Structure 1
Amino acid sequence: MYTTINENGILNNYATEPELYYAEYPNQELQNRYKFQAAIGTLLVTTLFLVALGVS
């Protein structure tokens, strides 16, 4: 942590900045996993919607 003191004796604390890095493009296996998760999520939301519509 980086700390400074001004002329009035007030402390200012600054957080340490993390190292920056660039995200990597997902490979084909990750892309397929994301597609599967999207399909499951869509199926879940659609089912909940249809159940709510049927109950009302």
Structure 2
Amino acid sequence: MYTTTDEKGILNNYATEPQLYYAQYPTQEQQNRYLFQGAVAILFVASIFLIALGVS
């Protein structure tokens, strides 16, 4: 933690900044997994919608 003191004796505490890094483009395996998860999510939401439509 970085601390400074001004002329009146007031302390200011500053958090240490994390080291920055750049995001990496997902691999083909990760892209396929995202595609599969999206398809499952669409099927799940569609089934909930159809069940709600059938019940009402």
Fold shared per TM-score above 0.5:
yes
Matched residues in 1 for 2:43 and 2:30: separation?
A: 20
Which range moved further: 19-28 or 7-16?
7-16
- The residue identity in structure 2 corresponding to 1:43 is L
What is the deviation of 1:40? 0.5
Q: Paired residue for 1:22?
A: 22
- TM-score, L = length of structure 1: 0.90
TM (norm. structure 2) is 0.90
Q: What is the CA–CA distance in structure 1 between the aligned matches of 2:45 and 2:10, rounded to whole Å? A: 53
Q: Which runs of 5+ in 1 are unaligned?
A: none
Q: CA RMSD in A?
A: 0.9
Instruction: Please give the alpha-carbon distance, in whole angstroms, between the structure 2 residues aligned to 1:42 and 1:13.
Output: 47
Partners in 2 of 1:52 and 1:5 — Cα distance? 62
- CA shift, 1:47, in A, is 0.7
Q: CA deviation at 1:2?
A: 0.5
Unpaired runs of 5+ in structure 2? none
Percent identical: 70
Aligned pair count reads 56
After the TM superposition, list the runs of 4 or more consecutive aligned residues in structure 1 that deviate by more than 4 angstroms: none
